[in-house]
Amino acid sequence: MRHGRVLRGRAEPLPFAVPPVDDSAVQEERLRRFAALWSRAVHPATSAPLGRAEFEQYLLPLAGRLRDALHAQPFDPAPGAGVGAELVRGHCTDPEALPLILGAIDAYLVLYCPPDSGVPADDCRARCTRLQHSLAAGFARELRERTLAEQEAISRAALAARAETEQALHTSEARFRAVFEGAAIGVGIADVEGNITDVNDALVRMFGTLDAPIAGRNVGELVHPDDAPEVWGLYAELVRGDRDHYRVEKPYYRGDGSVLWTDLTVSLLRDAAGHPQYQLAMMEDITERRLLHERLRHQATHDDLTGLPNRTLFFERLGSSLEPGSPHGHFGLCYLDLDGFKAVNDSLGHAVGDQLLVAVAERLRGCATAPHELVARLGGDEFVALTTGPAAQRDVTALAQRMLTALADPIRLDGRDLSVRASIGIVAGRAGEADAAEVLRSADITMYRAKAAGGNRYELADADSDARTIARHDLTNCLPGALENGEFFIEYQPLVRLSDGTVRGAEALVRWLHPVHGVLGPDQFIPLAESTGLIVPLGRWVLEEAARQARAWRNDGRCRVPLRVNVNLSPSQLRYPALVAETVAVLDNAGLDPSALCLEVTESALIGADEEQLRPLRQLADLGVDIALDDFGTGYSNLAYLRRLPVSTLKLDRSFTRGMQCVPADPVDVKIVEGIVSLAHTLDLSVTVEGVETGTQADRLRILGCETGQGWYYARPGPPERLHTLSLADAASCPRN
């Protein structure tokens, strides 16, 4: 067949895809093709008096409604229900019709009527599935209403026959038997004790061959484990005469042991005095419809790739286990993320990545086999496992360990062994203590804590760690607005020449005046700015403010010598392509000579840097900007490496001079500093010491040859005006500021 064919409700896909186009004539032609294929598949199973060509014309506007719903933004599957109802009205009521209808839609709707390229393929298929679900629901609803009308007609006929029996027994009995036996749905009669006295042939066919005939049995024998809790309560009310009818969906066992699902309506027949006398049961076989509903439900709640429960089903189970008063009592949750999965996708391709996820899912599925355990895939390489019950808080760690053990052996794909590592965050607690979003957030935070600890392990949730992470997240979200709102300010700490105690400059230290948390130091927000990329605009602002302040100091006659300003550069700023150009522009705008600026770069940022990475610093040094190597001694770099760095100053980390604050000084610290100073002077570098705390320490550093120092002995960081009033002539005898 040219366009593919449909056999028993399943469609063979075409060997090619039809690309979406904008031409309306082409789209209408494709819609007609879809309607033709739909008609060819469904018409043989209809009882419609129309020929196939006429039936195709009947389907054409319904096909248009499905296409429009598939394309709609936002998507709404509701039109599918109307299409299902119209198909019933068009006499598509044969039991084989619905699978053929859905099979044709599944095979050809997206193929011939695809949305525009803005809708991803997976989303497009999901829309088609939801339209089928809606159509099936509308089809079933219309068919139920149609059947109910028939049932009501039968009921009225039965009641009429009963009335006529009282008036003319023989005539009414014949009429009643004709209606009873000729009904297309199953009908049965029982007395108020539940003894079944009569059934029609349709009901017998529904149940198939049984060990004992239905007639003569008691209604109470037809119990099924999946009966709804309210079924037998309604039945008791009916036989007592407290209600006249009820309607439920009820399962029965057939003769072959299979399950028969029915739409059951039971009515109470009373005698002339109004006392309960008989029960009249009418049932429609809805097994196929029920199975279709279960298939669609499975598709909606399970992951297409791995077959595991998806996010929807997981949150349903998690939500029910967290409800106050839940019978589970306790819960335990494992949040698992594969370590380094992105590298697999990037190096081996997404097809191999998908195969790996399928293999991982299969191993994880084997870790949760108890009825109270569930493993699901949230998406990507993220999986979750849930356990409930009184021992959940103990069992969840064992479950996490089983998952890690299951992934310990390499997975073989395409002739190669792939090692799999995972990080797991565990949250456990009582029902009613938190909602699903809070539990999952805590598990996610804990999982990343396991990753930070090296991965391939699990960590238990900790409220304090969660609070710190959430606080960091809140600060990260506030950073962009803080820069726009002018919440940052700069304090300056003097740089003092040790030989005469004069101020030679100051280091610019940025602060954040947070509206809630008050003044925050750089260690609390600079790492966040680094991780979000905001460090580049923030660093530019600091440089501009510091340059303007340096210009102001130089224009002020109260300063005995020109003051230099030191500004810190982060690793991200060093990688910023416009660093040199923007630095030059800032100096020009401030009217500042490059020699008035010193850029401080941490030693760790330059370890292993190649010539391309050092080029911006060399260009700035060539322009006259001083480059200082900050925190020297903490990076464990090769001292010979200093020869190729474009630096003019070493800033010695305070950890090397702390032993000089007391008397006698630590001889090891003295020897280390003496060696570093000697090396620096050999390379024509000056030495600045951080963390000068006492006069004794300052004297020893001066004797060892250090040029400048900064620390609380001289002054704490403060506003720029303090450099005008700071008196250092008698610093040794003055208390700290």
pLDDT at 147: 80
Position 731 confidence tier, pLDDT thresholds 50, 70, 90 = very low
Position 182 confidence tier, pLDDT thresholds 50, 70, 90 = low
Position 18 confidence tier, pLDDT thresholds 50, 70, 90 = very low
pLDDT at 640 over 80: no
Position 559 confidence tier, pLDDT thresholds 50, 70, 90 = low
pLDDT at 21 over 80: no
Instruction: Specify the range with the lowest mean pLDDT, choosing from 36-50, 332-346, 555-569.
Output: 555-569
pLDDT at 733: 37
pLDDT at 432 over 90: no
pLDDT at 586 over 90: yes
Average confidence (pLDDT) over 696-700: 89
Average confidence (pLDDT) over 136-146: 85
Nearest alpha carbon to residue 203 among 215, 190, 182, 186: 186
Average confidence (pLDDT) over 69-81: 87
Q: What percentage of residues in the chain have a pLDDT greater than 90? A: 28
Higher pLDDT, 729 or 604: 604
How far apart, in whole angstroms, are the C-alpha atoms of residue 575 and residue 407?
38
pLDDT at 149 over 90: no
Torsion of Cα atoms, 130 then 133 then 134 then 140, to 10°: 180
User: What count of Cα atoms within 13 Å lies in the side-chain half-sphere of residue 597?
Assistant: 30
pLDDT at 167: 61
How far apart, in whole angstroms, are the C-alpha atoms of residue 629 and residue 652?
8
Give the tens place of pLDDT for each residue, 653-689.
888 888 787 778 788 888 888 888 998 898 899 999 9
Residue whose token pair is 């028969």? 260
Report whether the peptide linkage leading into residue 74 is cis, meaning its omega lies within 30 degrees of zero.
yes
Nearest alpha carbon to residue 700 among 712, 716, 689: 689
Judge contact between 88 and 111, C-beta under 8 A: no
Higher pLDDT, 212 or 461: 461
Nearest alpha carbon to residue 439 among 427, 425, 423, 424: 427
pLDDT at 494: 92
How far apart, in whole angstroms, are the C-alpha atoms of residue 334 and residue 338?
13
Position 334 confidence tier, pLDDT thresholds 50, 70, 90 = very high
Instruction: Specify the range with the lowest mean pLDDT, choosing from 37-46, 170-179, 677-686, 720-729.
Output: 170-179
Report whether the peptide linkage leading into residue 664 is cis, meaning its omega lies within 30 degrees of zero.
yes
Judge contact between 721 and 703, C-beta under 8 A: no
Give the tens place of pLDDT for each residue, 474-514.
788 888 888 889 999 999 999 999 988 888 889 999 999 98
pLDDT at 10: 43
Position 580 confidence tier, pLDDT thresholds 50, 70, 90 = very high
Q: What percentage of residues in the chain have a pLDDT greater than 70? A: 89
Highest averaged pLDDT of the listed ranges 28-32, 74-78, 333-337, 340-344: 333-337
Position 707 confidence tier, pLDDT thresholds 50, 70, 90 = very high
Handedness of CA 75, 77, 78, 82 (dihedral sign): positive
Higher pLDDT, 643 or 17: 643
SS3 687: strand
pLDDT at 639: 63
Average confidence (pLDDT) over 430-438: 86
pLDDT at 14: 42
pTM of the complete model: 0.52
Give the tens place of pLDDT for each residue, 364-401.
999 988 888 999 999 999 999 999 988 888 889 999 99
Judge contact between 696 and 660, C-beta under 8 A: yes
Average confidence (pLDDT) over 247-252: 90
Give the tens place of pLDDT for each residue, 443-460.
999 998 899 888 999 999
pLDDT at 163: 63
pLDDT at 195: 92
Judge contact between 659 and 666, C-beta under 8 A: yes
Q: ∠616-621-626 over CA atoms, to 5°?
A: 120
Average confidence (pLDDT) over 634-648: 72
At residue 370, φ and ψ (nearest 5 deg) are -75, 155
Give the tens place of pLDDT for each residue, 280-319.
998 888 888 888 888 888 888 899 899 999 998 999 989 8
pLDDT at 531 over 90: no
pLDDT at 271 over 80: yes
pLDDT at 727 over 90: no
